[in-house]
Amino acid sequence: MDKQEVVVITGASAGVGRATAQLFGRRRAKVGLIARGIEGLEAARREIEAFGGEALVLPLDVSDHDAIEAAAAKVEETFGPIDIWINNAMASVFSPIDEMTPDDYRRVTDVTYHGVVWGTLAALRRMKPRNRGAIVQVGSALAYRGIPLQSAYCAAKHAIQGFHDSLRSELIHDGSDVHVCMVQLPAINTPQFRWVKSRLPRKAQPVPPIFQPEVAAEAILFAAYSRRRELNVGWPATKAIVGNNFFPGLCDLYLARNGYEAQMIDEREDADRPNNLWEPVKGDAGAHGVFGDRSQDHSVQLWMNERRGWLLAAAGVAALGIAAMRKR
Per DSSP bridges, beta strands 202-204 and 264-268 are antiparallel
CA distance 223 to 18: 17
For residues 155 and 146, the answer to whether their CB atoms sit within 8 Å is yes
- Give CA–CA dist 100/204, Å, rounded: 17
Active site residue 105: no
Distance of alpha carbon 297 from alpha carbon 211, whole angstroms = 6
Q: Name, in order, each residue with C-beta under 8 angstroms of 104's C-beta and a sequence gap of 6 or more.
A: 93, 95, 152, 197, 277
- Report the distance separating Cα 21 and Cα 295, nearest Å: 20
Out of 153, 225, 254, 260, which one is annotated catalytic?
A: 153
Q: Which amino acid is at 154?
A: C
210 DSSP β-pair partners? 187, 295
303 neighbors 219 (Cβ within 8 angstroms): no
For 152, half-sphere exposure in the C-beta direction (CA atoms, 13 angstrom radius) is 28
CA-only gyration radius of the chain, Å: 20
Q: Is 133 helix (H, G, I), strand (E, B) or coil?
A: coil
The whole-angstrom separation of Cα 124 and Cα 264 is 40
Which stretches of the chain are DSSP H helices?
Answer: 15-26, 38-51, 65-79, 102-108, 115-130, 151-173, 213-226, 235-246, 248-258, 300-306, 308-327
* Residues carrying an active site annotation: 153
